[in-house]
């Protein structure tokens, strides 16, 4: 069983596809937050024993979906016991717009991890920010805090820019590598 978990909510399937790519890079297990903001009861035990937790949420109206926020509120039970203290955390978000206030969502996910006493892993990749840059390039949205993904509002899940999906794999790999360094100590 994996010791890295990607816990995510996806309203239309785009964030799920990104979560799958992050999980591929991290060799992680996926935990989906359902349409009511819940995860399976046994998923709490998995998250409690995880070395790393990667949060994923779509950005709606400048922050994470309400379903993800309900999950986040439910983590207060873990917070009271400091159960996730010193775990490795990362996060990603997806929105229809190139900006879409995704940075607000990432900072909120980072704050959630920090409230738990966690250690946040940044994206760690330089931006593709030259005139020659394309949407197929790694980190073409120029994220630093975590993974940013853009899925146009009228795009299917198969139309997420390849550069974003490739960046998702690399980010999952980075979080898993950081987690392995800390667990070796």
User: Residue 99: its pLDDT value, please?
Assistant: 85
Model pLDDT for residues 81-116, shown as the tens digit of each residue:
999 999 999 999 999 998 889 999 999 999 999 999
Nearest to 174, CA basis, from 114, 118, 125, 102:
125
Phi, psi of 11 (to 5 degrees): -80, -35
Q: How many residues in total does the chain contain?
A: 185
* Residue whose entry in the numeric block shows the structure tokens 């760690």: 124
Report residue 184's pLDDT band, with 50, 70 and 90 as the boundaries.
Answer: low
Token output for 80:
């009271």
What is the Cα–Cα distance from 108 to 4, expressed in whole angstroms?
21
Phi-psi region of 66 (alpha: psi -120 to 50; beta: other; left: phi over 0): alpha
Q: Which residues pair with 94 in a beta bridge?
A: 58, 149
User: Residue 9: its pLDDT value, please?
Assistant: 98
The pTM is what? 0.96
What is the Cα–Cα distance from 14 to 140, expressed in whole angstroms?
18
Tell me what the mean pLDDT of segment 14-34 comes to: 98
User: Residue 100: its pLDDT value, please?
Assistant: 82
Is residue 168 within 8 Å of 147, Cβ to Cβ? yes
Residue 185 has pLDDT above 60, yes or no: no
Average pLDDT over all residues of the chain: 95
Residue 1 has pLDDT above 80, yes or no: no
Residue 2 has pLDDT above 90, yes or no: no
* Residue whose entry in the numeric block shows the structure tokens 């990362």: 90
């Amino acid at each position: 069983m994996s010791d890295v978990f990607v816990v995510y909510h996806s309203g239309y399937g785009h964030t799920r596809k990104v979560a799958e790519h992050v999980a591929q890079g991290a060799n992680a297990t996926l935990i989906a937050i359902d349409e009511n903001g819940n995860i399976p009861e046994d998923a709490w035990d998995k998250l409690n024993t995880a070395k790393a937790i990667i949060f994923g949420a779509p950005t709606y109206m400048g922050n994470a979906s309400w379903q993800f926020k309900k999950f986040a509120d439910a983590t207060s039970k873990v917070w009271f016991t400091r159960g996730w203290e010193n775990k490795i955390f990362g996060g990603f978000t997806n929105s229809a717009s190139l900006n879409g206030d995704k940075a607000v969502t990432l900072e909120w996910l980072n704050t959630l991890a920090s409230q738990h006493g966690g250690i946040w892993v940044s994206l760690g990749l330089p931006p593709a920010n030259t005139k020659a840059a394309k949407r197929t390039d790694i980190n073409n949205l120029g994220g630093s805090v975590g993974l940013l993904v853009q899925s146009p509002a009228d795009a299917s899940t198969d139309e997420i820019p390849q550069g974003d999906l490739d960046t998702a794999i690399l980010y999952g790999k980075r979080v898993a590598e950081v987690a392995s360094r800390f667990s070796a100590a």
